[in-house]
Chain A
């Protein structure tokens, strides 16, 4: 029995199709992402009220969980893409994995930094060795960096794709551990504000900018991912005819 796959499924495996799709999506993702980042920041910094316990420093809540979430999502995107690339030998999927890694690393770094400066006034320390949430979040950063370093060790791109895919897939177990670390172990870190039992532990005037910033960072992430993916596609496709036409040379 042959399973009939929808047309878009095949199109998503086609580099020129994905390249042009990215060209159409990127201006929208970038524009809406940046506008929402501005709106959410002003809302969170100026309009939202101060917290009854943490006063003004709580305002880091409009960037810290968001950057942490993007880092984790980037890792899942990387691992899923790497797995698809490994199983179906799909070069485009490997290109997605490679593109997600540096962005995920940067956002995870942001999450660690914003967490440290939030920790100083609320916990009395920037950094606590052995704290489960901090350690597993740091591990997430090292998984991204390890993935990129391992890629750099191969001259052959296909081999790099296949070997690093294994690291990406194995490391994905860390993502739920990061998320549940505050519930499984005693951590200095507070439990999730948004995913609290019985609904978000925030008033509406705090929740709205919080959610705006999640959407803003998500759109920005996919904007960055698609632009990097376009570069990766060009590098991998080399002198394919459609690329020669794209750069305006070699057209007969």
Chain B
């Protein structure tokens, strides 16, 4: 874009970028891995409404209810704080991999054919 200052702004951009994304990722890891233990365990809005009105009875068990990470806990880890924390970290890393690769592919502008 700005042709004259391209090298300077490029250098600044790389540093600021790395710092920005590292901080964002660490904050996400901290929230999902540590803070999540302190989240409210009350039913969420939809669940509460369904309980109060009475249609909660029509909910079926999740088809993956016995999965290794079902309900944000790692099967086999007894300690609840560790269980939800590890599940959160796995979720953050998994989302980063899927979304990171996905958006990178979407944003890639093919310069020529092939690639």
Chain A partners chain B: no
Residues of B near any A CB (own CB < 8 A): none
